[in-house]
Amino acid sequence: MLRSIELSVGIFVGIGLAALFMLAMQASNLSSFTSDGAYQVSARFDNIGGLKVKSAVKVSGVKVGQVAEIDYDNETFEAVVVMNIDEKFDKFPRDTIASIFTSGLLGEQYIGLEPGGDDKLLANQSEIRHTQSAMVLEQLIGQFLFSKSKENK
Amino acid sequence: MKVLTGMLTRLGRASLFLGKVMAGIPQLFLRFGLVVKQVYSVGVQTLFITLVAGLFVGMVLALQLYYTLSTFGATDTLGMLVDLSLVRELGPVVAALLFAGRAGSALTAEIGLMKATEQLSGLEMMAVDPVERIIAPRFLAGVISMPLLAAMFSAIGILGAYSVGVDLLGVDAGAFWSQIQAKVDFYEDVLNGVIKSFVFGCIVSWIAVFEGYDCIPTSEGVARATTRTVVYSSLAVLAMDFVLTAIMYN
């Protein structure tokens, strides 16, 4: 009797831990990206829009890393974004362009990298020099209305 | 006024009792067999109802959310929504309510009946502390079982949502999992859910063993204590859930 109780308790605890493991590995982001095995690259933007820590870094639509840190430089009045990029993808040229895009009309923002043509590669702790800020919808609408009213004159 | 002082006295007695139970827990590691036996009656026997309920809650969530989401053309986010609502809220809370109804009431009735048939005072006569021998293993078993049950509830709920969403309603399987893995954070969502269920386990087990130990030792008294366990622990779980959510996700 006691042995069968012990066995069923063992099965119970086993299933419970398996469920926790499944929640951790399959039903959350724990397995998708880890910061070890990644190298860091920074970039400066005039405006980062709604970019957040852990936002995706994509090349050609493929996720290669995520934003690790966002800071503001008091001297140059720019936002400094540090990203972790998976070391599998370590062949980006030095003149790669980093732009902030929005996925879909109302989706979240991510950093899109466009590889350039330089022979030298981006190394750990290096900086991406060519950047393009986030599009701010209000500014775009403002510019559109402004140019429209000019046309009508 | 008399009612108020009566309630406060009971609360104080319950707190002192909890302290005594806590003090009895370290000795249990020498006799862990006692706890294993209680995990069987508290946890294993609650397994079936938890799994079935979890499966159906997941399936219903998937159905309901699918019809709302399809009006926005956002059915790809179905998996993420089901996962978040299960892991953050429904898993810990519903599993705790089921736990209070299935295991908490049984604990109270068992301890209350032991008191009514003078088994507890019999143990005391033999210089065995009933709190250490009877109450503490049951309390610890409840605390151990609750997080495991809540995790199983969430996990099988997600599988239920998968079977309804992907197999029945035609959501893309890849989108289902990738949305989940992109948006559900392990520490923020899953681990906070585990902390929640741990707290609920402590609350429900505490109320259950106290109501049993403190009941009037008659058949009517045991019946009342059992009812009180279910009512109080359900209310305490829901109220505590609000407090914990406010602390964790503000």
pLDDT tens-digit readout, B109-144: 999 999 999 999 999 999 999 998 999 999 999 999
Does the pTM surpass 0.80? The reply is no
- β-bridge mates for residue A72, sequence order: A79
d(CA B132, CA B113): 18
The yes-or-no verdict on residue B28 having pLDDT over 90 is: no
Instruction: With CB atoms and an 8 Å threshold, state whether B36 touches A9.
Output: yes
pLDDT score of A10: 86
d(CA A76, CA A64): 28
Which region holds residue A109: left if phi is over 0, alpha if psi is between -120 and 50, else beta?
beta
A8 Cβ partners below 8 Å, 6+ apart?
B40, B44
pLDDT score of A106: 63
Compute the nearest-CA separation of B224 from chain A (Å).
31
Chain A residues in contact with B47 (beta carbon < 8 A): 12, 15
Instruction: With CB atoms and an 8 Å threshold, state whether A27 touches B190.
Output: yes
Residue A28 corresponds to which tokens in the numbers above? 């959350």
Q: How many CB atoms lie under 10 A from the CB of residue B63?
A: 15
pLDDT score of A30: 67
Question: With an 8 Å Cβ cutoff, is B180 touching chain A?
Answer: yes
pLDDT tens-digit readout, A98-140: 999 887 666 678 899 999 888 888 888 888 888 888 877 788 8
Compute the nearest-CA separation of A144 from chain B (Å).
28
The yes-or-no verdict on residue B201 having pLDDT over 80 is: yes
d(CA B71, CA B81): 15
pLDDT score of A151: 80
Mean pLDDT of B71-89: 89
pLDDT score of B111: 95
Burial track A13-49 (b if 16+ CB lie within 10 A, e otherwise): bebbeebbebbbebbbbbeebeeeebbbbbbbbeebe
pLDDT score of A123: 84
Residue B216 corresponds to which tokens in the numbers above? 């009037």
Listed residue (A134, A128, A33) closest to B183, CA to CA: A33
Residue A130 corresponds to which tokens in the numbers above? 């060519």
Listed residue (B132, B159, B249, B118) closest to B195, CA to CA: B249
Compute the nearest-CA separation of A21 from chain B (Å).
9
Q: From the candidates A1, A7, A20, A105, which should be mutated to test the interface with B, based on the most B CB atoms within 10 A?
A: A20
Least CB–CB distance from A9: residue in B44, B83, B186: B44
Compute the nearest-CA separation of A29 from chain B (Å).
4
pLDDT score of B152: 95
Instruction: With CB atoms and an 8 Å threshold, state whether A16 touches B158.
Output: no
For B32, nearest residue in chain A (alpha carbons): A6
Residue B144 exposure: Cα atoms within 13 Å on the Cβ side:
24
Compute the nearest-CA separation of B72 from chain A (Å).
12
The burial class, CB within 10 Å (0-12 / 13-18 / 19+), for B180 is buried
Q: Between B148 and B29, where is the model more confident?
A: B148
Query: What's the ipTM?
Result: 0.76
Q: From the candidates A6, A7, A28, which should be mutated to test the interface with B, based on the most B CB atoms within 10 A?
A: A28
CB contact at 8 A, B83 and B186: no
pLDDT band of residue B184 (cuts 50, 70, 90) is confident
What are the Cα distances from residue A74, in Å, to A71, A77, A114, A126, B154?
Answer: 10, 5, 28, 20, 46
pLDDT tens-digit readout, B217-246: 999 999 999 999 999 999 999 999 999 999
Q: Using alpha carbons only, how large is chain B's radius of gyration in Å?
A: 21
Query: pLDDT tens track of chain A, all 153 residues?
Result: 678 888 888 889 889 989 988 888 777 776 665 666 788 899 999 888 888 887 888 899 888 888 888 999 999 999 999 998 888 888 888 889 999 988 766 667 889 999 988 888 888 888 888 888 887 778 888 888 988 888 876
d(CA B51, CA B3): 41
Q: From the candidates A2, A9, A34, which should be mutated to test the interface with B, based on the most B CB atoms within 10 A?
A: A9
Q: Between B162 and A138, where is the model more confident?
A: B162
Instruction: With CB atoms and an 8 Å threshold, state whether A19 touches B152.
Output: yes
The yes-or-no verdict on residue B161 having pLDDT over 90 is: yes
pLDDT score of B176: 87
**HEC sequence for chain A:** CHHHHHHHHHHHHHHHHHHHHHHHHCCCHHHCCCCCCEEEEEEEECCCCCCCCCCEEEECCEEEEEEEEEEEECCCCEEEEEEEEECCCCCCECCCEEEEEECCCCCCEEEEEECCCCCCECCCCEEECEEECCCCHHHHHHHHHHHHHHHHC
- β-bridge mates for residue A102, sequence order: A109
Residue B242 corresponds to which tokens in the numbers above? 């609000």
Chain A residues in contact with B183 (beta carbon < 8 A): 29
pLDDT score of A1: 62
Question: With an 8 Å Cβ cutoff, is B36 touching chain A?
Answer: yes
Instruction: With CB atoms and an 8 Å threshold, state whether B151 touches A19.
Output: yes
Residue B246 exposure: Cα atoms within 13 Å on the Cβ side:
6
pLDDT tens-digit readout, B89-116: 999 999 999 999 999 999 999 999 999 9
pLDDT band of residue B74 (cuts 50, 70, 90) is confident
The burial class, CB within 10 Å (0-12 / 13-18 / 19+), for A72 is exposed
Instruction: With CB atoms and an 8 Å threshold, state whether B44 touches A8.
Output: yes
The yes-or-no verdict on residue B170 having pLDDT over 70 is: yes
Chain B residues in contact with A31 (beta carbon < 8 A): 181
